[in-house]
């Protein structure tokens, strides 16, 4: 069965089910009775079931309407969006089973229990625990965390349930250790005593999630310097071009990306060569930071205009080295800002770790067709 969540203007209005491709049995279930005139015109005001697909949705389930840049199967047509709920595959990584014996890969000597919520009607001595903790690979290439919880309330049997939580795709762009820090926040895993350090020790988990073994860059070998030579300018341009085409598909206007060729990035780098710091590893430019002041907009505030690092250097500390060096150059300013895409969660987390916070200023860029937010560092 394929289950699609149905959204209208990003508000969920129902589910569309296709039970069997041969029988073509399908159904639409409306979530509630509230609907607009526009939704009524599309037929979204009533539920449906039958042996034929609902034409409105059948026409949308086509590659022409597939949203790019995501593993999730999402179709968008005007105000209407279909998001397929992925199904589990047979690929599972078991982190913990309460019934496991010592020596089993998912055994833990820890009880992984927790005190239950204490309220006026909570039986004395009530406790809860994790029965198992695992990760599942879904049929669209995404992953979910699964944790089964049980509790004893003083009766004749245990109660409980299983928690399933999707792992956001953008987290897979993080360094593996940071990724695990985020993952344990899902499915109440931290509540039951699971930590990123425990997951880091699990052999095979890195490979299960598709993280390649990556030798860490030698931070001492990275040089941060002002950009000077023509070769360095070309190296900076390559990082600009590579980073945009790796990071922004699905986040910005694809037409803009298509026009952002390496040649165009070289042209821009030679046009504005000043106030550029570069990270150099064995003669190769692997990252850069551009900084300065917009005298016409925020004359008393420094700004980091851009900061990009080649993906193979993510998590090595190069980005932080560049940021620290740029902030040093802007030392005369008590406030420094950066602009970033509102939907670029990875960049926002990086800037937050560097001390920046959203200051409430936002703008819409018609050039890249995306919302941007300003983040500010006070010092």
Query: Could you tell me if residue 130 is inside a domain?
Result: yes
| Helix%, strand%, coil% for the chain, nearest 5 | 25, 35, 35
Q: What local confidence, expressed as pLDDT, does residue 33 receive?
A: 66
Q: What local confidence, expressed as pLDDT, does residue 154 receive?
A: 60
Range of the domain at 360: 219-378
| Residue (of 326, 298, 348) closest to 171 by Cα position | 348
| Section 62-91 average pLDDT | 90
Q: Are strands 302-309 and 335-341 parallel, antiparallel or unpaired?
A: parallel
Residue 216: pLDDT band (50, 70, 90) is low
Domain boundary among 208, 232, 249: 208
Q: What local confidence, expressed as pLDDT, does residue 127 receive?
A: 76
Q: Are residues 27 and 140 in the same domain?
A: no
**Whole-number Å distance between alpha carbons of 81 and 294:** 40
Which run of H or of E encompasses 360?
A: strand 357-365
Q: What is the pLDDT of residues 84-134, one digit of tens each?
A: 999 999 999 999 999 999 999 999 999 898 876 555 665 666 778 999 999
Q: Which of 92-101, 146-155, 192-201, 204-213 has the lowest mean pLDDT?
A: 146-155
Q: Say if CB 126 and CB 117 are below 8 A apart.
A: no
Q: What is the pLDDT of residues 144-180, one digit of tens each?
A: 999 999 887 665 556 789 999 999 988 988 878 889 9
Q: Are residues 279 and 326 in the same domain?
A: yes
| Section 132-147 average pLDDT | 96
| Residue (of 177, 108, 170) closest to 143 by Cα position | 170
Query: Could you tell me if residue 323 is inside a domain?
Result: yes
Query: Could you tell me if residue 213 is inside a domain?
Result: no
Average model confidence (pLDDT) across the chain: 88
226 has pLDDT over 80: yes
| Residue (of 335, 341, 340) closest to 377 by Cα position | 335
Q: Are residues 66 and 143 in the same domain?
A: no
Q: What local confidence, expressed as pLDDT, does residue 242 receive?
A: 94
Q: Which of 58-62, 114-118, 346-350 has the lowest mean pLDDT?
A: 114-118
220 has pLDDT over 80: no
Q: Are residues 79 and 68 in the same domain?
A: yes
Helix (H, G, I), strand (E, B) or coil at 289: strand
Q: What local confidence, expressed as pLDDT, does residue 155 receive?
A: 58
Residue 211: pLDDT band (50, 70, 90) is confident
| Residue (of 133, 135, 115) closest to 125 by Cα position | 115
- Percent of the chain scoring above 90 in pLDDT: 59
| Section 47-72 average pLDDT | 84
Please, what sign has the CA dihedral across residues 322, 179, 239, 367?
A: negative
Q: Are strands 80-85 and 2-8 parallel, antiparallel or unpaired?
A: antiparallel
Query: Could you tell me if residue 286 is inside a domain?
Result: yes
| Section 69-78 average pLDDT | 87
| Residue (of 76, 182, 83, 179) closest to 138 by Cα position | 83
Q: What is the pLDDT of residues 265-314, one digit of tens each?
A: 999 999 999 999 999 999 999 999 999 998 777 778 999 999 999 988 88
Q: Are residues 151 and 59 in the same domain?
A: no
Please give the order of strands across the beta sheet that includes 222-226. Answer: 222-226, 276-281, 284-293, 302-309, 335-341, 370-378, 357-365
Domain boundary among 185, 208, 231: 208
| Residue (of 136, 122, 201) closest to 164 by Cα position | 136
| Residue (of 329, 115, 130) closest to 227 by Cα position | 329
Q: Say if CB 168 and CB 147 are below 8 A apart.
A: no
Query: Could you tell me if residue 369 is inside a domain?
Result: yes
Which residue, chain included where needed, has tokens 């965390």?
Answer: 145
């Amino acid at each position: 069965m394929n289950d699609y969540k149905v959204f209208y203007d990003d508000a969920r209005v129902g589910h569309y089910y296709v039970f069997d491709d041969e029988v073509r049995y399908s159904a639409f279930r409306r979530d509630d009775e509230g609907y607009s005139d526009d939704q009524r015109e599309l037929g979204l005001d009533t539920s449906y079931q039958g042996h034929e697909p609902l034409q409105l949705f059948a026409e949308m389930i086509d590659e022409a309407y597939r949203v790019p840049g995501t593993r999730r199967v999402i179709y968008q047509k005007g105000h209407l969006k279909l998001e397929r709920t992925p199904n589990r595959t047979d690929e599972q990584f078991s982190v913990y089973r309460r019934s496991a014996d010592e020596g089993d890969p998912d055994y833990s000597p820890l009880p992984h229990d927790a005190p239950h919520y204490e309220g006026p009607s909570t039986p004395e001595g009530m406790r809860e625990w994790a029965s198992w903790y695992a990760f599942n690979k879904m049929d669209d290439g995404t992953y979910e965390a699964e944790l089964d919880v049980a509790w004893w309330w003083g009766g004749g049997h245990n109660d409980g349930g299983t928690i399933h939580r999707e792992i956001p795709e953008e987290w897979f762009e993080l360094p593996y250790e940071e990724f695990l820090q985020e993952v344990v926040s899902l499915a109440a895993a931290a509540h039951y005593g699971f930590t990123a350090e425990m997951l880091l020790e699990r052999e095979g988990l890195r490979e299960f999630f598709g993280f390649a073994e990556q030798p860490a860059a030698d931070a001492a070998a990275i040089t941060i310097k002002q950009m000077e030579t023509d070769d360095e300018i070309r190296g900076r341009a390559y990082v600009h071009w590579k980073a945009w085409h790796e990071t922004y598909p699905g986040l910005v206007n694809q037409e803009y990306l298509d026009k952002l060729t390496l040649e165009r990035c070289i042209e821009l780098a030679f046009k504005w060569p000043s106030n550029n710091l570069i990270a150099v590893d064995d003669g190769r430019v692997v990252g850069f930071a551009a900084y300065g002041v917009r005298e016409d907009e925020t004359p008393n505030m420094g700004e980091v205009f851009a900061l990009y690092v080649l993906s193979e250097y993510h998590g090595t500390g190069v980005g932080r080295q560049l940021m620290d060096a740029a902030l040093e150059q802007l030392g005369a300013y008590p406030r420094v800002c950066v602009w970033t895409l509102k939907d670029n969660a990875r960049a926002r987390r990086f800037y937050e770790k560097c001390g920046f916070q959203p200051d409430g200023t936002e703008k819409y860029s018609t050039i890249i067709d995306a919302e941007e937010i300003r983040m500010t560092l006070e010092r």
